[in-house]
Structure 1
Amino acid sequence: MSIESAGREDVFFGTAPDGETVERHVLDNGRLRVAVLSYGATIQRLEVADGTNVVLGLDTLEDYLHRNRYFGSVVGRYGNRIARGRFTLDGTEYRLAVNDGEHSLHGGVRGFDKRVWRVESAEPEQITLSLLSPDGEEGYPGTLRVRVRYRLEGDALRIDYRAVTDAPTVVNLTNHSYFNLAGSGDVRGHVVRIDADRYLPVDEGKIPVGDPAPVAGTPFDFTAPTEVGARLEGRYDHCFVLRGGATVTDPGSGRSMEVTTTEPGVQFYTGHMLDDRATPYGPFAGLCLETQHFPDSPNRPDFPSTVLRPGEEYRSSTTYRFTVPSRPADG
């Protein structure tokens, strides 16, 4: 479904298995057009100034229910992995739903990406969605109230996350969009720069081990613009310790994206585990830059804390800014 075919008055996208209505809303400021679903607070499409859709999305709710790999969704209560699905907070051990081998990934079996969010407000250039996560959901303590706002700002999409809790808990929210600035094909030819001089080495289960390591002299050095497929066959799924932002460029089209965030890290995933037998997309169809706190932080007191307590507010913001080459003048 293209954005053009969906008018603002036509917001029905489907009915979830529990009977909840899923809505589809379109933001448009003349530069960007973004379709947002209330299922998973999902970015379904993102069209840049030349009309190219630069994110991977699915056409139907049925696809999102059965053929989804977090395409464009908000993941939580904890984005990324928590080792062995457990952590200790204030002397109490909490055991989480595990869904990635022995680990908990992106909030567990039924994370925020699989929930129908409430549309609090929908305007031409911004939308706010909210979600109530009850105490004990997927094993997490505390009732968490979450709000996410998508807002268009010229050639940029800004995402603001807010959350409050009634008991101590851990929170790490991010958006899991897969970007392909060419609009289709393989992203290994994309050029990436990540302003990070350290990354997190991981074990076979993708759990961080040891201290953050220098990227210098390793395949993880993206401090200078580097083609995705130039090293490690383009297979990345690692968290980088940010000094600044990140940029992605598609040399073929000249389109580029700049990512800035308040978060201390970004998970760079190149989509190499996508399988076109299970989804409409095959390996390397899109890459992710998931701005976030570090994986397994609840078990790593040396990492920036992800603990949220009553009376505090979780706040996080990320902006994706797109540049499209000017078309040559006629004549």
Structure 2
Amino acid sequence: MHEPDSHQPDHFQPDRAAGTVTPRSWGTTPAGEEVILYELRVPGGLEAHVMNYGGVLVRLLAPDRHGTPEDLVLGHDRAAPYFDRQTSPYFGALIGRYANRIAGGRFSLGGQTYTLARNDGPNALHGGPGGFDQRLWDSRAVMGADGPGVVLTYLSRDGEEGYPGNLTVQVTYTLLPEGALRIDYAAQTDAPTVLNLTNHTYWNLSGQARRDILDHELTVHADAITPVDATLIPTGQFLPVPGTPFDFRRPRRIGTSVDDQDPQLRAAGGYDHNFVLGDVGEGGDLRHAATLHDPTSGRQMEVHTTQHGLQVYSGNFLDGSIVGKGGQPYGHRWAVCLETQHFPDSPHQPGFPGTVLLPAQVFRSRTIYAFSAR
């Protein structure tokens, strides 16, 4: 896999005109390993703070229409709560080996069946109890031509969480001076495996999570979703969005239909669905997937990705029991996740884009979150 062009030591302050990256110690894991927080900054008030535990995007600061930068992601002010899913349900984390759900906690590949942990009712979710969000990644600061960044690398060994093959994953966060956060994913394996990587940030553009996201306006450039059954596993069909609560082809308040008595919404308790970005046969090109806008603060976030799908999750399971940054309880629908991904349960769905990675291949994908205010 290509390494970013950098020969800088891990701790450095490059020219401030291009931005800065500052690593600092941020506690230790339960095993006594050092946690490092990388603080990325570019001119204009945009900041991203990334932790090497779980590859978590801990903070993203962006200005409102008055130029005031505030934090737009849910999470915690210290490392320890991220070690427990009860206090950090994937807040800001990298997800793998397989993001989203695999039916029955098993899949077959090359004539062999692989058994996974069933950590979401009868299904496997987000890589299992010891998924990538619960791992300490190797990390280093970089200052590339595009801006300050951090490179995270993890070796998922053969059999980890039931998945075959030794898989090397590299994720690079880069803060772009034009006002965007870019996430580049790459992976290689020494045996056939299945792979679905994403970032699970909970977004709230109001700033400092001061209110719910029901008044946020969402646009998703998708003509269909992959509908789910009662356990949130795709049926294998494609449901056109016109005339449904899933029609976000034009800007629409998230709260407009989230509590409708639509069978799909009732099954998930709100939005927790994969939106189909373009034709399922297409792939590899960067496309505009979605736009999120908070009319009160004026902040806007555009999502661009090379992935086929976008999981929209409306914070249905947040209930105020988790107290986050600054002592703020995270109530019901206090955030929305926009997870760029392959489709859920693809190993069981022949009509979905494939997620098998072979030893001769290098998996690559890119997602860009671009910030502005209006």
TM-score (norm 1): 0.93
- Structure 1 segments of 4+ aligned residues over 6 angstroms from their partners: none
On the 8 A contact 2:22/2:39 being kept in 1, the answer is: no
Matches within 5 A, 1:252-263: 252-263=296-307
Q: Equivalences for 1:237-252 in 2 at 5 Å?
A: 237-243=272-278, 244-252=288-296
CA deviation map 1:140-161 (0-9, x unaligned) = 0001000000111221101000
Amino acid at match of 1:115: R
Alpha-carbon offset, residue 232 of structure 1: 2.9
Cα shift at 1:254: 1.2
The aligned residue for residue 50 of structure 2 is: 36
Is the CA contact 2:236–2:349 (under 8 Å) kept in the aligned structure 1?
no
RMSD: 1.5
The equivalent of 2:228 in structure 1 is 202
Question: How far has the Cα of 1:198 moved from its partner?
Answer: 0.5
**Cα separation, 1, equivalents of 2:28 and 2:142:** 19
Aligned pair count?
319
Query: Equivalent residue for 2:12?
Result: none
Are 2:99 and 1:79 equivalent residues in the alignment? Answer: yes
> 5 Å matches for 1:121-200?
121-123=141-143, 125-153=148-176, 154-183=178-207, 184=209, 185-200=211-226
- Aligned pair in 2 of structure 1 residues 69, 279: CA closer, same or farther (>3 Å)? farther
Offset of 1:13 from its aligned partner?
Answer: 0.8
Match of 1:105 among 114, 125, 128: 125
Q: Which residue of 1 aligns with 2:14?
A: none
Q: Say whether residues 1:46 and 2:60 are aligned partners.
A: yes
Are residue 287 (structure 1) and residue 305 (structure 2) matched?
no
2:312 to 268, 280, 285: 268
Match of 2:77? Answer: 59
Structure 1 residue 165: deviation in Å? 0.2
Please give the alpha-carbon distance, in whole angstroms, between the structure 2 residues aligned to 1:115 and 1:90: 28
Deviation of 1:60 (Å): 1.6
Contact 2:179 / 2:370 at 8 angstroms: preserved in 1? Answer: yes
2: CA distance between counterparts of 1:272 and 1:97?
23
State which drifts further: 192-201 or 41-50: 41-50
Q: Helix, strand or coil for the counterpart of 2:318?
A: coil
Are residues 1:315 and 2:364 paired? yes
- Report the alpha carbon displacement of residue 98 of structure 1 after superposing the two structures with TM: 1.5
Unaligned runs of 5+ in 2: 1-19, 261-269, 279-287, 325-329
Q: Is the partner of 1:246 in helix, strand or coil?
A: strand
Question: What's the CA shift for 1:233?
Answer: 2.0
Partner of 2:9: none
Q: What is the alpha-carbon distance in structure 1 between the residues aligned to residue 319 and residue 168 of structure 2?
A: 34
5+ residue gaps in structure 1?
A: 1-6, 326-331
Please tell me whether the aligned partners of residues 23 and 141 of structure 2 are also in contact (alpha carbons under 8 angstroms): no
**Structure 1: distance between partners of 2:371 and 2:140:** 27
Matching residue of 1:3: none
Q: Distance in 1 between matches of 2:320 and 2:25?
A: 27
Task: Please state how far the C-alpha of 1:218 moved relative to its aligned partner.
Answer: 0.7
Per the TM alignment, residue 276 of structure 1 is displaced from its structure 2 partner at its CA by 2.2
Please tell me whether the aligned partners of residues 186 and 284 of structure 1 are also in contact (alpha carbons under 8 angstroms).
Answer: yes
Conserved 8 A contact 1:239-1:267 = yes
Aligned residue among 230, 242, 246 for 2:256? 230
Give yes or no for contact 1:25–1:122 (8 Å, CA) kept in 2.
no
Contact 1:68 1:279 in 2 (8 A): no
- Which residue of structure 1 aligns with residue 37 of structure 2? 24
Distance change in 2, residues 1:10/1:198 (3 Å): closer
Tell me, yes or no, if structure 1 residue 12 matches structure 2 residue 4.
no
Matched residues in 1 for 2:320 and 2:142: separation?
A: 34
Q: CA deviation at 1:278?
A: 4.1
CA distance, structure 2, for counterparts of residue 9 and residue 181 of structure 1: 25
State, as a whole percentage, how many aligned pairs show the same letter: 49
The amino acid of 1:199's aligned partner reads I
Q: Deviations over 1:188-238 (max 9, x none)?
A: 100000000010110111100131110011111111111000003282000
